[in-house]
Structure 1
Amino acid sequence: MKRSFMVGLTFLFIAVLVMPVISAAGPVKLTYCYWGSPAEDRVLKEAFKNFEAAHPGITVEPMYIPGDITGTEYAAKIKALSQAGELPDLGYFRPDHFGSWATAGLFMNLSPLIQKEKLEKAVLPQVWLKVKNKVYGSYSAAECQVLFYNKDVLQKAGVPLPPTDYRKGWSWNQFVEYCKKITTDRNGKHPGESGFDPGKITCYGVSYQLWHAMLLPAIWSNNGDFISPDGKQFKLDRPESVEVLQKLADLINKDHVFAYTNPSSTSGAGLPAPPVMLANGQLGFYVTGQWELLDLAKMNFPLGIGALPIFKKPAQMYVSGASVIFKSTKHPKEAWELHKWMMNPDKTLDLYTSGLWLPTKASWYTNPADLKKWTDNPVHPAGFKEAVLDSMQIARVHMEVKVKNFPRIWGEAVAPELDLVWSGQKTAAEAMKAAKKRVLSLKLLQGNY
């Protein structure tokens, strides 16, 4: 009996020693934060379930934070979580706040993991987000600017379908002339014709998204820029940049081909949203982000896609939300596995087949088998590869991820002045001179992170 007691005591002692090991290797819960549409929310939650199935012992708790297009709601929520010491393990992050948070040491340094697993060239060269030569995150997707159009509207106006090769897009002047042919008032008159009534337009030539990312390709195409590469010079007041901004404003106020709702007047009042106008035959072209393909492809009209118009050279921008692992995570190894999982388009295929995202994985742009996985469907129009995917070879990263104070430069100085340009109250030259003066007075040009 004494021997039995000693054996039992020995097993109990061993169990006590082993207990902490079992606890340390026990279940892990990761919290993943993100924004997005209901469709994106659904696909991500499905990806989390698949990750859990492939990684027994790890569960993922979604933290879905719907926000506005500028991301102010999302950014405010993450800031509040940080102040409360309740940051998630990983997830999406606003690109225009990435540099300041990375510099503050709030993100995990991914460089050693990327080097160890030889992942540098597995993705597009723009994907890894660096501060002082260390990777602190990645772009969640690849996104760019696209020229969408309604085939029926163009054909009715006698306008040829635009080229799909991004290197052979129409000149800006050609584009404007075609927009004039499409634009029609209620009496069938076009801009420039006697009797044309710009207040009674029934079909417009174009609608153009006018926030900062959407301005960059045209500005770069004309050899202009927003801010110098070192983040220390304001360049929207330079002639190359001013010319583009003025020509965009001319589409509204001079050429009368732009379906623009002017918040300071009744001009354009009551116009439907551009996607609705495009589908209804009230609009010829729509220049916007590639992600709008998600909704446009669901509308019942002959959707086409073409190369962006060119000023002096083809240009494209790369923009996306960022994905990061917060340094405060208690599970860095597991968080890295989930981060990689979410970067793998095979694991979140619906985000790509639906038209919402472009993949970050390099082979999905060139390998026929990979291309077929996500573009061989009715969602992606003919010419999608030539006009969109191939243009990513020249895509420049949006400076918002590295330029200090970018949200303030745009929000406090540039955007208010551009509103006056779009409404015709100022010329682009006058407005950008004023914007530069404000940027300098506020001492916002502090270089890069």
Structure 2
Amino acid sequence: MKRLMKTTIAFILMLMLTVLPACTMSDSAKDLNSSAKNEVGKSGESITLRLTLWGAPNEISVYKKVIANFEAKNPNVKVELQSIPTDYDTKLTTMVAGNDEPDVAMMESGSIALPLAEEGKFLNLQTFLEKDPDLSLDSLVPNITYSSEVGNIIGIAPGPESYALFYNEDAFKDAGLTAPPSKVSEAWTWEEFVEVAKQLTLDNKGRNAADPEFDPKNIKQYGVNIGTFWGAYSNFIYSNGGDFISADGKTFALNQPEAVEALQKLADLVNVHHVAPSPVQAKNIPATNVALQTRKVAMVVDGQWNSSSLADTNTNFNVGVLPVMKEPVSTVVCGMFSIFKSTEHPEESWELVKALIDPEGSIDMLTYGTWMPSLKTWYTEDELVSKWTDNLKSRPSGYKDAVIDVMLNNSHQTPTGYVKNFNKIMDVVTPALDKVWLGQQTAQEAMDAIADKAQAQVKGRRDLE
């Protein structure tokens, strides 16, 4: 078809030069090329875009709706959806190795996207954002774009997530305690948080952790569960002024005072205050929705995506702002959509990405509680905010202050987005931290012991100008 079009254009061009001698060749060519492009856009050269992603059945259902709407608006474009529910990274890597890359793909920043970006596999989405009349970098929520280097955006998140403090309201009422604050200006200090957690931690005889007779070996309700995933504890490292690597990107930083102090305070919840389960004890703690419903725990630090599963239970739950060590912070984590450089249809692929991150298209995911919107206006304009928060069990009374306001004003990018070689660094860090959570070493001892090995994996930061 391309060869036929070139032949047709050449013939028409010769004809126009014959009948319109007053036109210069450059003017005629320019006008004709413009007309040809407009005709393709109007008549619609039939093209197919391949989209790969993962997701639960309800998420795939939403994507199918988005695709159907996109195809209706773009009748010349067919989207071939390829859902890969398991071993996504491995299967996509195999596709890339076999030169069988999709046009658009969902990516996770730490595991596959940034390594592929360093191989130059993706288009720079910043060039699209800079010229698009409908979408710009400023219109997106903070910390939801991923870059291989400054100025080279390789992915945009369709549904960002942040962390918050979920809690069982009945547990607080039974203990005679005031519920956690939802406003950042009223956030608990770490010390206040620990004292509340003690009141909520009960042994099998109903004594709380502040009672001298409390039995830490027979706990029926823990005050809090934070877990040992880096996404959860990163909130407190950032809150305490720490980081995974230094500001100049040259030095491993988890053995520095700010990070060590945060890690130690988290470990002390388990081993000193006995208000949180150890990794061994946590094996008997169910997922957040069940843990709060059954009162295995009274509070959980977890991602806002738990709103959906909690809404499906009869738990009387709410959400508060995270406790603060020095500054209020919530880490943003999310998947992203990227466009492979090998696509033959970059403009159409960009329009598909725009459709995938459009909150209107994913409204079911927003109201269900799984996602948050990617556009700032959906956090700041009352009419739009009400679409995904009003009168919904998945969005309890504390949600707007504890989650929406924090997302806009107190969020921090996931370390996978800016720490180069993050997974290799964490391969060294995680086993060492297991000794901290189990009380076998202090945070300082554990991080100092692996500092040299971790330093060998430090490759810099992506957010440096």
**Secondary structure of 2:355's aligned partner:** helix
Measured after TM superposition, the shift of residue 418 of structure 1 is 0.9
How many pairs align?
A: 421
Q: What is aligned with 1:336?
A: 350
**Secondary structure of 2:138's aligned partner:** coil
Q: What is aligned with 1:397?
A: 413
Q: What is aligned with 1:387?
A: 402
**Aligned Cα root-mean-square deviation (Å):** 2.2
Query: Where do 1:14-413 residues align within 5 Å?
Result: 25-67=44-86, 73-96=87-110, 97-118=112-133, 119-130=136-147, 131-262=149-280, 267-268=281-282, 270-376=284-390, 377-392=392-407, 393-410=409-426, 412-413=427-428
Q: Does 1:432 align with 2:451?
A: no
Conserved in 1, the CA contact under 8 Å of 2:44 and 2:75? no
Conserved in 2, the CA contact under 8 Å of 1:169 and 1:310? yes
**Secondary structure of 2:88's aligned partner:** helix
Which structure 2 segments of 5+ residues have no match?
Answer: 1-6, 13-38
**Secondary structure of 2:299's aligned partner:** strand
Measured after TM superposition, the shift of residue 29 of structure 1 is 1.6
Go from structure 1 to structure 2 and tell me whether the alpha carbon gap of 1:375 and 1:88 turns closer, same or farther (over 3 Å shift): same
| Counterparts of 1:272 and 1:213, CA distance in 2 | 18
**Secondary structure of 1:121's aligned partner:** helix
Conserved in 1, the CA contact under 8 Å of 2:66 and 2:362? yes
| Counterparts of 2:290 and 2:73, CA distance in 1 | 41
Tell me whether 252-261 or 84-93 shows the greater mean CA deviation.
252-261
**Secondary structure of 1:341's aligned partner:** helix
Go from structure 1 to structure 2 and tell me whether the alpha carbon gap of 1:49 and 1:431 turns closer, same or farther (over 3 Å shift): same
Go from structure 1 to structure 2 and tell me whether the alpha carbon gap of 1:260 and 1:294 turns closer, same or farther (over 3 Å shift): farther
Conserved in 1, the CA contact under 8 Å of 2:144 and 2:334? no
Conserved in 1, the CA contact under 8 Å of 2:279 and 2:438? no
User: Deviation digits for residues 363-403 of structure 1, max 9, x if unmatched?
Assistant: 00110011011111232000211111111212121231232
Which structure 1 segments of 5+ residues have no match?
Answer: 1-12, 68-72
**Secondary structure of 1:396's aligned partner:** strand
Conserved in 1, the CA contact under 8 Å of 2:285 and 2:296? no
User: Deviation digits for residues 275-325 of structure 1, max 9, x if unmatched?
Assistant: 212011222101011111111111101111101101122112222112101
Measured after TM superposition, the shift of residue 268 of structure 1 is 4.9
Go from structure 1 to structure 2 and tell me whether the alpha carbon gap of 1:307 and 1:105 turns closer, same or farther (over 3 Å shift): same
Measured after TM superposition, the shift of residue 269 of structure 1 is 5.1
Measured after TM superposition, the shift of residue 222 of structure 1 is 1.3
Conserved in 1, the CA contact under 8 Å of 2:226 and 2:233? no
Q: Which amino acid aligns with 1:34?
A: L
| Counterparts of 2:202 and 2:146, CA distance in 1 | 46
Q: What is aligned with 2:30?
A: none
Go from structure 1 to structure 2 and tell me whether the alpha carbon gap of 1:230 and 1:139 turns closer, same or farther (over 3 Å shift): farther
Q: What is aligned with 2:25?
A: none
The runs of 4+ residues in structure 1 deviating greater than 4 Å are: none
Go from structure 1 to structure 2 and tell me whether the alpha carbon gap of 1:56 and 1:354 turns closer, same or farther (over 3 Å shift): same
Go from structure 1 to structure 2 and tell me whether the alpha carbon gap of 1:253 and 1:103 turns closer, same or farther (over 3 Å shift): same
| Counterparts of 1:272 and 1:116, CA distance in 2 | 48
**Secondary structure of 2:315's aligned partner:** coil
Conserved in 2, the CA contact under 8 Å of 1:92 and 1:324? yes
Measured after TM superposition, the shift of residue 25 of structure 1 is 4.6
Conserved in 1, the CA contact under 8 Å of 2:288 and 2:306? no
Q: Which amino acid aligns with 2:285?
A: L
Conserved in 2, the CA contact under 8 Å of 1:33 and 1:90? yes
User: Deviation digits for residues 324-377 of structure 1, max 9, x if unmatched?
Assistant: 011111221211110001111011111111111111101001100110111112
| Counterparts of 1:94 and 1:223, CA distance in 2 | 26
Q: Which amino acid aligns with 1:191?
A: A
Go from structure 1 to structure 2 and tell me whether the alpha carbon gap of 1:222 and 1:352 turns closer, same or farther (over 3 Å shift): same
| Counterparts of 1:65 and 1:359, CA distance in 2 | 24
| Counterparts of 2:249 and 2:336, CA distance in 1 | 20
**Secondary structure of 1:136's aligned partner:** strand
Tell me whether 374-383 or 363-372 shows the greater mean CA deviation.
374-383
Length-normalised TM-score, structure 1 = 0.89
**Secondary structure of 1:63's aligned partner:** strand
User: Deviation digits for residues 389-430 of structure 1, max 9, x if unmatched?
Assistant: 1112121212312322111101x2111111111111111111
**Secondary structure of 1:324's aligned partner:** strand
Go from structure 1 to structure 2 and tell me whether the alpha carbon gap of 1:368 and 1:409 turns closer, same or farther (over 3 Å shift): same
Q: Which amino acid aligns with 2:55?
A: G
Q: What is aligned with 2:3?
A: none
Measured after TM superposition, the shift of residue 211 of structure 1 is 1.4
| Counterparts of 1:288 and 1:254, CA distance in 2 | 22
